[in-house]
Amino acid sequence: MVREIKVVETIHGRRFKVRYRLGGRDTSETFVRESDAIMFRDILGAGRGDRVAEATRWLEGRRTADAKIVPTFGQWFDGYVDQLTGVTPRTRNDYRSLHRRYLNHLDPLPLTMIARPHVTDLVNSMDNAGRSPKTIKQAVHLLSTCLRLAIDEGHIAANPCRNIRLPSTSLNEVEARFLSYEEADELVRAIPDHYRSLVVFLLGTGLRWSEATALQTKHVNIQAGTIRVERAWKRVPGEGFVVSVPKTRKAKRTVNAATMALAAAQPLLRRPADLLFTTPAGDPVRHANFYNNVWQRALLRTSLDPRPRIHDLRHTHASWLLSEGIAIEAVQDQLGHESLETTRKTYAKLIPAVGVAVGKAASAALDRALVSQTAAHDPAVGVVGVVGVEVGQRKELASLEPPVTPRLHQPASNA
């Protein structure tokens, strides 16, 4: 009779168990690979005498061989990053930085030794240290994709990252702050003259800070009214800030700029390779310095509450586009979001004007449908007999518009 191989589901994945007798007692051996379980079973045969000894010798030899050929996580990670295709040097640096900060304690372990408790410990330790849910997700995702390749190569049978519950991002996300026209105007007036052009430009283009401050004169096309985004600042460990390609494929794009944003940028155009925005000394504008010495001080001179972040200028730009009826797909392209879902999640349900437009469109459609329906049955009944609202009342409701707010003032000529 062929000895049975029992399949066992564990928290580490599927395992294969072979039972036999050793020294007069029942025992078992569990294998990660089914092929090893089959080989062990076949050598055991009926499980008597020399067959048991031969099977145990084979098993010991197999373990020794596995220990020699299974790479450690550190070795595997280095190879994993090196063989990635379709990624930028910036992405490789990001992966190595994540590994160095959060995953390198796993480096000495053979891949077969990495188990679910290692992953849960990683998540909990990062969470307890105050790391953001986004950072935790990035670290676990990197570990998971690295180990997924190890499965494909036959080094491990299951991914210990599977079904790991991660901290919720919704509880920790900073809510987007959308400025009204009046608030934006108040903010721009509070910014010192030298940096006012930069703030107007951010409001009028929706560029990321790292993109706007890396722009060169050659990227601005005043005649076409466009900005070409081809590069961005990136912090590289050990090197400081360097200019690199934008963060995603869609981030490399052509942006349609507001007329006032172009007017603010035009006096700053110099030689093609010169930075568009600089400090008074001509150096690149760094986020930390601008935030502490310009942004925060300017906010103290305003009544804005809650106080916006610099990134909220980008959110505000998107909200204004949506409030003007621009399709969300066009907003995605303008912002350079890789996924439309990112744009929808951030903006679609947060813009009241969009809801007003949807409500008006639904009202117009329903009016046409109900007028047609009731007229076909009994013209004397009218719509009031169906929904209890006179046609005149509906027209009055449909004419209601959101309050009109003033646009940004024209920036000073020396901005």
User: Which CATH number does the domain housing residue 312 bear?
Assistant: 1.10.443.10
Q: How many other CB atoms sit within 10 Å of the CB of residue 205?
A: 26
pLDDT computed for residue 325 by the predictor: 83
Q: Per-residue confidence at 239, pLDDT binned at 50, 70, 90?
A: low
- Note whether 232 and 296 are same-domain residues: yes
Residue 293: the pLDDT is 97
- Asked if residue 147 and residue 113 are part of one domain, the reply reads yes
Domain range for residue 18?
A: 5-69
Q: Looking at per-residue confidence, does 104 or 44 come out higher?
A: 104
Residue that terminates a domain, selected from 306, 323, 340: 323
pLDDT at 153: 83
Same domain, 194 and 315: yes
User: Does 274 map to a domain?
Assistant: yes
Q: Which of 155-164, 359-368, 400-409 is the least confident region? A: 400-409
Specify burial of residue 251 (Cβ count, 10 A radius: 0-12, 13-18, 19+).
buried
Residues 282 and 199 in one domain: yes
Give the residue with greater pLDDT, 184 vs 34: 184
Q: Say whether both 133 and 249 belong to one domain.
A: no
Residues 91-136 have pLDDT tens digits of 888 899 999 999 999 998 889 889 999 999 999 999 999 898 889 9
288 and 314 co-located in one domain: yes
CATH of the domain at 148: 1.10.150
Residues 65, 79, single domain; the answer is no
pTM: 0.58
In this prediction, residue 413 carries a pLDDT of: 38
Residue where a domain terminates, one of 13, 35, 69:
69
Query: Is residue 348 predicted with pLDDT exceeding 70?
Result: no
Q: In the chain, helix, strand, coil percent, each to 5? A: 55, 10, 35
Residue-wise pLDDT for 52-80, tens only, equals 888 888 877 776 656 556 789 999 999 99
Q: Does residue 219 share a domain with residue 275?
A: yes
In a domain? residue 131: yes
| pLDDT at residue number 198 | 98
Q: Is 298 among the domain residues?
A: yes
Average pLDDT over the chain reads: 82
Question: Percent of the chain beyond pLDDT 70?
Answer: 80
How far is residue 283 from each of residues 213, 264, 289, 311, 413, measured CA to CA in Å? 11, 19, 12, 21, 22
Band the pLDDT of 411: cuts 50, 70, 90.
very low
pLDDT band at 353 (very low <50, low <70, confident <90, very high): low
Total number of domains in the chain: 3
Q: Is residue 160 part of a domain?
A: no
One domain for residues 81 and 54: no
Residues 202 and 251 in one domain: yes
Q: pLDDT digits over 377-399, tens only?
A: 444 444 333 334 444 444 443 44
Asked whether residue 330 is domain-assigned, the answer is no
Contact by Cβ (8 Å): 287, 304? no
Q: How confident is the model at residue 48 (pLDDT cuts 50, 70, 90)?
A: low
Tell me what pLDDT residue 80 has. Answer: 92
